[in-house]
Chains A and B, each alone.
Chain A
Amino acid sequence: MKAIKNIGLVVFLIGLGIFTALTVIGKFTVNQQLFDEILVEKKIKSEIFIENLQKNLVDKDFNSMLSLSPIVVNALESANAKHKKNKEYKKIIYTNPHDMAAYIGKKSGSGYIANNKGTMWFLTFGLGIIGALMFILPNVILLGKKGIKNDGIYHESATNRKWIAWMVLVFLVGFYLILYFRSEYAVNWTFIVDPISEFLSGNPAGHWFVYGFMYCAVMTVMAVRMYIKYRHNMYQIVRTTSVLFFQIVFAFLIPEIMVRLQMPYYDFKNAFPLDYDFFFQWNLKSLINSGGIGMFILIWGIVLTLVIVPVMVYFFGKRWYCSWVCGCGGLAETLGDPYRQHSSKSLFSWKVERWLIHGVLLFAVIMTGLTLYSFFAETGTIVIIKDILSLKVQSIQNLYSLLIGAVFAGVIGTGFYPIFGNRVWCRFGCPLAAYLGFVQRFKSRFRITTNGGQCISCGNCSTYCEQGIDVRAYAQKGENIVRSSCVGCGVCSAVCPRGVLKLENGPEEGRINPTEVLLGNDVDLMELVNKK
């Protein structure tokens, strides 16, 4: 069994190695005909750019994006700089230089990778999935009798912030940096999932399709791990199945199929303000121009945020979204589960959390307000104080997309799993979580009930709380846990050795019970203390 695990690990690492190598190998050739096509498709009017690439790019062979990308990026940037200087605004190219490089790379890829997509898929995703499953499945036997299986978590390098954890961090951060900022290095990845993308939407894959596919693959494999680890716990099994279903069907399949049906790409479960660009001008225009389905999405999106989300939180707590439906939560609960113990429980972290997450919510709301104003007022610039302060809506949106959408949610949110725990984004950054949190804290039937006086302050609940809630601090006082950040993953209840915690939805009255003395001490004392 151990041997199967080790072979699995090696197979997985080979797959991962090839996948990683794909960023810097490949074959790209732009012949004259293709170059002309690109110029037409991208409506290039800059003669400087054309001349530069004609000389440095056309009919040359490139064996790596490392050599191709700088040529395109330099050509584009220097051309734009000159045009700006000469005030030739019509010639400026507004495509991001790295997107341009990715676009040219996608068009010009040739050679083994581009021509053997199936084989390459097997050597990367295939080996990765097979290896990971070989590593995970023997646990059915190795873990022994069903029950909580946390043995050795703080002895292992990977789960105790030692070198393996740091390597994983470097890999994840690198992956997200490519995804958000250097998509040209993902071109080879797009080739190997082209067949799947073409099957679903009819279009070749872009790097976001790679991400979507990979997301589903990773979640599925790690869900198998969850099923094995928590096989005694029906709550975990049902919940894992739910997040997996919503990710694969709602976040991945339905939007792709909608594209095939000439409909807008839309994830029906992705609620504003997590879906922060829902009210951006381009999205509103696209929805309005898409006929009936566009209007339906527009109304659905608004109703989802204003009615469905809060009503559901009232009845079930924010867990219905954060750990049963949401994609970010889905990844955190599968890929992130081995790292859940790393969320800081200190009071300091809680303070930082409250400032940050509510700050992001405020940012999102203000940005959306300005966006809507500019949409209806049909102006891109909003004057706050005449001649002194005016805001360009586009710049604010770009700032949010960069800081929150890319860096916080992606690079830090997932990249830092192995060190800061699996809910960095959900805990510190997600504006939707902040909004749901208000409802959960002030108007909801959800609570984690503490079972009288049974708590022995062991600290398992706090240690394994992915949201950094010091659960024990409440449990040992006999208080229910009612916290805006709780996503209801149910692990505190699972790891408790004394049966102290239960997630439940009950009457609002008595939900928060801070004044009671612990059960067991006699009634006179309770009265005495309650009188105070």
Chain B
Amino acid sequence: MEHIVIIGNGISGVTAARHIRKLSNKKITIISAETDYFFSRTALMYVYMGHMKFEHTQPYENWFWKKNRINLVKGYVTSIDHKNNTLKIKHNTDIVYDKLIIATGSKPNKFGWPGQDLGGVQGLYSKQDLDTLEKNAPNKETCKRAVIVGGGLIGIEMAEMLRSRDIPVTFLVRENSFWNGVLPNGESQMINEHILEHHIDLRLETNLVEILSDENGNARAITTDKGDTIECTVVGLTAGVSPNINFLKDSGIELGRGVKVNRMLETTIPNIYAIGDCAEQHEGIGNRRPIEAVWYTGRMMGETLAQTICGNPTEYKPGHWFNSAKFLDLEYQTYGWVFSERGKKEEEQHFHWRHGKEKICVTIAYHKNTKAFLGINTFGIRMRHTIFDRWLTESRSIEYVLEYLKDANFDPEFYAKYEKEILQKYNQENGTNITPKKKSWKRIFSKA
């Protein structure tokens, strides 16, 4: 029986294992040094905030693995000997594989800041990071102030976590507006306001220079390039993540920033594959980046690779881009591509609507000349994935999208609706006279 060994028990590895089990009888082993069982990394913040217990982040009950004959090994893979199909495990016996899947995810970036290895300085990525934070910042008495370095998704989540325990937070962001490398100005601006409303000391265009140590080797303050010294006991380093592949340096597998893979998710060595955050496409697919550190792409790569391994060679073909996030109380969803002012091409034009009082806004990207719909960002309004996916496939125009926007609304019942206002603004700006179509179940559930 063929032995499939998977390094990493995150969403990619576990999805691959589940689908291989669905499709075949192969022997499956998952190795992880992080935790005994699969958990949802994205939910770690809720454990610290007291919304959930750690066991709630585990999508499968503990009996699931044995029942599905998925062997779990706790151990740290130190090296791969691909000539003998063997993995060396720290403090454990070697494991021999027939096919190997590398799904080791990411690790937080550190850019060589002075003091980055002091006590109280940490990232927020793994279960261990969560445990460390619980020790470093159990309450506002122990942690008098925390400084977070890096204005991305993990940074704002970490700020939210610490604020849930009333710990004062200073948030250093390199850009002149939060996440404006990804979000258009209007949206980025709105989040700046929202961060301040949550009593987070947001410092834009500010970089970390040095982390200062106390006599015990713990962080006591940081200095910024604005010349400020900020007293703090915890420093969160959240300047992005990069593939967790150090152990592969001498493996003979071609590496870039991540493990180089082709569209079949094969590495340069036969019978070794890489999926998820640690995989790097030779070339980005569509507008996607070569390395996609996103939950659902990891899942899709797992689904795809399981097909290949079980005898249906399948290319990894992610469909239309979509994503979502939550910034404090603000929900964000995106379908298709909406680029920031920094990233967008000349022909991409934006229509932006923002609510007069509430933190709700919509940005629609479209082609300047053809009016083709390119993508939508929504804040505070939920939208229906199937509908936008269909509209993108059908290459609809922005005017069509606005006309049928009610079909796409996914907010809970009784919520205020804004399609009319949105349309009004568009009509005003463009001298058009589009009227909204009534929501139709028939259209929503019709199969494209």
* Nearest opposing residue in chain B for A517, CB measure: B303
Contacts of A519 in B (CB 8 A): 319, 385-386, 389
Contact B164 A151 (CB under 8 A): yes
Which one of A103-111, A139-147, A388-396 contacts B?
Answer: A139-147
7 A–B pairs (Cβ distance < 8 Å), ordered by A: A150-B50, A155-B50, A452-B384, A472-B59, A518-B300, A520-B320, A525-B304
Contact A453 B61 (CB under 8 A): no
Bound CA–CA A490/B412 (angstroms): 8
- Distance between B64 CB and nearest chain A CB, rounded to angstroms: 9
* Nearest opposing residue in chain B for A524, CB measure: B317
* Nearest opposing residue in chain A for B325, CB measure: A498
Contact B40 A152 (CB under 8 A): no
User: Which of chain A's residues 487-509 have a Cβ closer than 8 Å to chain B?
Assistant: 490, 493-495, 497-499, 502-504, 506-507, 509
Contact A154 B52 (CB under 8 A): yes
**DSSP majority for the A interface?**
loop
- Quick check: is A397 within 8 A (CB to CB) of the other chain? no
- Quick check: is B331 within 8 A (CB to CB) of the other chain? yes
Instruction: Count B interface residues, CB 8 Å.
Output: 58
- Quick check: is B444 within 8 A (CB to CB) of the other chain? yes
- Quick check: is A293 within 8 A (CB to CB) of the other chain? no
Interface size class of A (residues with CB under 8 A): 35 or more
Contact with A458, one of B40, B164, B314, B382 (Cβ below 8 angstroms): B40
- Quick check: is B307 within 8 A (CB to CB) of the other chain? yes
Contact B53 A523 (CB under 8 A): no
The interface bits of chain A over 51-81 (1 if a CB of B lies within 8 angstroms of the residue's CB, else 0) are 0000000000000000000000000000000
Knowing that A234-B412, A472-B59, A490-B413 touch, tell me 5 more A-B residue pairs with CB under 8 angstroms.
A152-B164, A154-B50, A459-B59, A463-B52, A497-B331
Contacts of A33 in B (CB 8 A): none
Q: Which 3 A-B pairs have the closest CB atoms?
A: A452-B385, A147-B329, A522-B317
The interface bits of chain B over 409-426 (1 if a CB of A lies within 8 angstroms of the residue's CB, else 0) are 011111110000000000
Contact A456 B42 (CB under 8 A): yes
- Quick check: is B328 within 8 A (CB to CB) of the other chain? yes
Known: A498-B331, A521-B317, A528-B314. Contact between A504 and B413, CB under 8 A? Answer: yes
Bound CA–CA A503/B413 (angstroms): 7
- Quick check: is B56 within 8 A (CB to CB) of the other chain? yes
Residue among A449, A462, A493, A522 with max Cβ neighbours from chain B (10 Å): A522
- Distance between A79 CB and nearest chain B CB, rounded to angstroms: 57
Known: A147-B328, A454-B333, A490-B412. Contact between A510 and B52, CB under 8 A? Answer: no
* Nearest opposing residue in chain A for B57, CB measure: A459
Bound CA–CA A457/B317 (angstroms): 22
Contact A509 B198 (CB under 8 A): no
Residue among A238, A454, A503, A517 with max Cβ neighbours from chain B (10 Å): A454
Contact A499 B333 (CB under 8 A): yes
- Quick check: is A20 within 8 A (CB to CB) of the other chain? no
- Distance between A400 CB and nearest chain B CB, rounded to angstroms: 35
- Quick check: is B324 within 8 A (CB to CB) of the other chain? yes
Contact A506 B412 (CB under 8 A): no
Known: A458-B42, A525-B314. Contact between A506 and B51, CB under 8 A? Answer: no
- Quick check: is B343 within 8 A (CB to CB) of the other chain? no
User: Which of chain A's residues 224-255 have a Cβ closer than 8 Å to chain B?
Assistant: 232-235, 237-238
